[in-house]
Amino acid sequence: MAETRSFRQRLLAGDKLVGTFLKTPTSHATEIVAGLGFDFVVIDQEHAPFDRTTTDIALMAARGSNIPALVRVSGPDTILSVLDCGATGILVPHVASADYAREVAALCRYRNGRRGYATSTRAGGYTAVPMWQHIRASDDTVTVIAQIEDPEALDRIDTIAAVEGIDSLFIGRGDLTAAFGDETPNPPAIRAAVETITAAARKANKPVSVYVGGRPEAEWLQSQGATTFILNSDQGFLRQAATRGLAEMREVLG
């Protein structure tokens, strides 16, 4: 039987991966998305009401459903807790310097890093996993994705991309669009930012991760070199399906 590759191995190999954001702090969306065949989920602590307990529940559901689960952390202070709870990795907002990139990468690694050690956690099998087995497995598989979403990060993008331990660059087009303040559709500055980030990723041999709302964005960003796609969210899918269902009923009822 062929060895199953980890999410990190697939990401670094440039496999085409599709996940979605989880915004609703329950276990149910995780289970539903896993059953549909998505490659991964991203639990959103930054812009959704996930606390440590609800994050733990969503991660338990992910493990039970056999789907990799990243957490978009609210900041470096939550990195240890989500890794202890069994997160596959983290998506870190506002990585705007190489120093900060090195800090978050170190917080995810035991060897040559600063991750606090424990095997009394889900990640450590509640003490069932021997110490060095846990350390090796964690250091090999925990995924670290840096979200590039600040204009100042664009001036430092080559040094950020080159940081050891940063596995992928995530292009935060929403925050960049807000920061540049151009209200026109498809702002030239954002297209230029995408090209700048993807060029730095190619130079550093790092995969590019992106958020997409649908096919047109996905086609464009794939042409720019993106390989990991976060499609919509559980809330977005709920709104789309509810809107479509209600429109059909209004049509039936006249």
CA dist., res. 36 & res. 209, Å (int):
21
Catalytic annotation, residues? 47
Q: Whole-angstrom Cα distance, residue 158 to residue 181? A: 24
Neighbouring C-beta atoms of residue 85, cutoff 10 Å: 23
Q: What class, spelled out in words, does domain 7-253 have in CATH? A: alpha beta
The model's pTM: 0.95
**192-208: buried (b, 16+ CB within 10 Å) or exposed (e) per residue?**
ebbebbbebbeebebbb
> Per residue of the chain (254 residues), what is the pLDDT tens digit?
345 899 999 999 999 999 999 999 999 999 999 999 999 999 999 999 999 999 999 999 999 999 999 999 999 999 999 999 999 999 999 999 999 999 999 999 999 999 999 999 999 999 999 999 999 999 999 999 999 999 999 999 999 999 999 999 999 999 999 999 999 888 999 999 999 999 999 999 999 999 999 999 999 999 999 999 999 999 999 999 999 999 999 999 98
Q: Where are the domains of the chain?
A: 7-253
